[in-house]
Amino acid sequence: MLVLAALALLVLALALSLHHRTAPAGAVLPRVPGVLNPDVTQSTVGSTICVHGWTATVRPPVEYTNDLKVKQMRAYGETGSPSDYQEDHLISLELGGDPTDPRNLWPEPYPRAADVDRIENELNAKVCSGKLSLREGQQQESELKHTQG
């Protein structure tokens, strides 16, 4: 099941990358497919992503994400200050994204990063309330970030 979900996200990411995209001015579109945390499944959301404070238990150290952010900014051709960016998870920790895999992280500029954090929390609330399945939430998040940054 997890493999199928990961494959579906990869196919979605590839399909979106082939479409003509118009991103908001100043947006940085991710070049990563997104990677899932194998500990987070539909059957474990009640003991993982729906537990207040759970993401803090899996969030990578700032030293790791800051180092990766600088490397990825160079790869993306971004020349601004690293403090103008958040090293963001394509599939957020709130929706079961892998915390440290570089294929799930990319440099997202502020203020877009702050706007997306709000959307991630809204999707998490929908998954935790049963309004969306985990897979649906992950797909919506991936599509949003691949098309709008």
| Lowest-confidence segment of 4-13, 25-34, 51-60, 85-94 by average pLDDT | 4-13
Q: Which pLDDT score is estimated for 65?
A: 98
Q: Return phi, psi of residue 106, to 5°.
A: -160, 160
Task: Report the pLDDT value the prediction gives residue 3, as an integer from 0 to 100.
Answer: 52
Judge whether 96 and 58 are in contact, CB under 8 Å: no
**Quick one: angle between helices 112-129 and 134-148, nearest 10?**
160
DSSP 8-state symbol, 143: H
The answer, yes or no, to whether residue 8 has pLDDT greater than 70, is: no
pLDDT of 16 > 60? The answer is: no
The pTM of the full predicted model, rounded to 2 decimals, is: 0.83
Cα 10 from chain centre: 13
Q: Is the pLDDT of residue 132 over 70?
A: yes
Structure tokens at 136: 């649906």
**pLDDT band at residue 22, thresholds of 50, 70 and 90?**
low
Q: What's residue 27's pLDDT?
A: 83
Integer angstrom CA distances of residue 109 from 24, 29, 65, 112: 12, 10, 14, 6
Do 123 and 136 touch, CB atoms closer than 8 A?
no
Mean pLDDT calculated for residue range 21-38: 84
Q: What is the pLDDT of residue 24?
A: 72
pLDDT at 130: 98
